[in-house]
Amino acid sequence: MTRASTETLFPAENYDLEKTLDCGQAFRWLRSGDGWRGVVNGEWVELRSVPGGIAARTVLPQRDWRWLADYLQADANIQNIVDSFPRDNVMARAVEHCRGLRLLKQDAWECLASFILSSTKQIPQIKQGIANICTAFGAAVPSPPGAALAWSFPAPAVLAASTERALRECRIGFRAPYLLASARAVASGEVSLEEVNSMTLPEARKHLVRLPGVGPKIADCVLLFAYGFQQAFPVDVWVLRALRMLYFAKKRPKPARIRLFANTYFGPFAGYAQQYLFHYVRTVKGALPERPRK
DNA sequence: CACCAGGGTACCT
DNA sequence: AGGTACCATGGT
């Protein structure tokens, strides 16, 4: 029986904390010195990469760290995953560039709401909108003396009780009515986020797409980043560009053709491959041969 | 000023 | 079914 503590170590090999926290799957982590600070499960958390794994610190003493271990996915066998990728030179370069990048297992509602706010916005602006939402509607979370104030991500019922006007003051634009309507659908139980856990991937997609402001792309983001569906394959503008330029010789495949290709070509961890491809083409200059129009 | 950003929806053919 | 304007906002 271990005693409650505010610090622990998650053993891991080949875990790149910076790439993992800042590759566009989560939006709430802030760099602080050589570590990262954020809020997970309604608790202030600081993470630091150390020899042998990830060191974590909280404010409240923890007896059970499983909630954070689950989030970090430090136990995932990254080597097996990378070995399952197709062996073409594009994926080889992506794997080289993304070494140590893990997919997190995030809270479903926070992930869903975050990606509702993501449409046609750049990642820094997505982060800003989410920060505004948390400051305006979240609950204060205990943080260490001297550290910046921290807020939880507001629960569905909290946002459901808000108004479109108040949400628009968070500078989220036309996404405000989507966020409000989805919060109400989830809070009322009309669309259960819990039931997704016992669904197949096609069932889960149909289920989430019922929510206003949630289409195929956002549904697959949530299924990949929060529910652990490793074959979910979000296709955004970057991934579409990459697939077209790198695998379709600049042709214009239809969305259904893309999905079929993704699931047959990239294998059982297609979603992981997608994130490697996304981070690679987005951060490496010259990864894509040219800057295509439309 | 035009164009773009981890899209979705309504409304056309 | 497949195309397209539009939806706010901030940055080049």
Helix or strand (DSSP H, E) at A287: none
Q: Which residues have C-beta within 8 Å of that of residue A188, sequence separation ≥ 6?
A: A160
Helix or strand (DSSP H, E) at A57: strand A53-62
Q: Which nucleotide is nearest to A292 (CA to C1')?
A: B4
**Residue lying closest to nucleotide C8, CA to C1':** A173
How far apart, in whole angstroms, are the C-alpha atoms of residue A94 and residue A247?
Answer: 14
Distance between the alpha carbon (CA) of A119 and the C1' atom of B2, Å: 20
Distance between the alpha carbon (CA) of A18 and the C1' atom of C4, Å: 39
Count Cβ neighbours within 10 Å for each residue of A233-252 and write b for 16 or more, e otherwise.
bbbbebbbbbbbbbbeeeee
Specify the pLDDT at position A143: 97
Mean per-residue pLDDT, A27-52: 97
| pLDDT category of residue A286 using cuts at 50, 70 and 90 | confident
Assess whether A237 (CB) lies less than 7 A from strand B: yes
Mean per-residue pLDDT, A123-141: 98
| pLDDT category of residue A267 using cuts at 50, 70 and 90 | very high
How far apart, in whole angstroms, are the C-alpha atoms of residue A114 and residue A214?
Answer: 11
Return left, alpha or beta for A264; rule: phi > 0 is left, psi -120 to 50 is alpha, else beta.
Answer: alpha
Q: What is the pLDDT of residues A176-215, one digit of tens each?
A: 999 999 999 999 999 999 999 999 999 999 999 999 999 9
Nucleotides of C under 7 A from a protein CB: 2-3, 7-11
How far apart, in whole angstroms, are the C-alpha atoms of residue A167 and residue A135?
Answer: 12
- Please measure the distance between the N-terminal and C-terminal CA atoms of chain A and give it in whole angstroms: 59
Residue A1 confidence (pLDDT) above 60: no
Residue A293 confidence (pLDDT) above 70: no
How far apart, in whole angstroms, are the C-alpha atoms of residue A122 and residue A246?
Answer: 23
Q: Which nucleotide is nearest to A277 (CA to C1')?
A: B6
Distance between the alpha carbon (CA) of A167 and the C1' atom of C10, Å: 17
Specify the pLDDT at position A255: 74
Residue A3 confidence (pLDDT) above 50: yes
Tokens standing for residue A38? 């954020």
Distance between the alpha carbon (CA) of A294 and the C1' atom of C10, Å: 21
Assess whether A213 (CB) lies less than 7 A from strand B: yes
Q: What is the pLDDT of residues A72-123, one digit of tens each?
A: 999 999 999 999 999 999 999 999 999 999 999 999 999 999 999 999 999 9
Assess whether A280 (CB) lies less than 7 A from strand B: no
Residues 30-89 of A with CB under 7 A from strand B: none
Neighbours of A215 (CB within 10 A): 11
| Helix, strand or coil, per DSSP, at residue A247 | helix
The rounded radius of gyration (Å) of the Cα atoms in chain A is 19
Q: Which nucleotide is nearest to A279 (CA to C1')?
A: B6
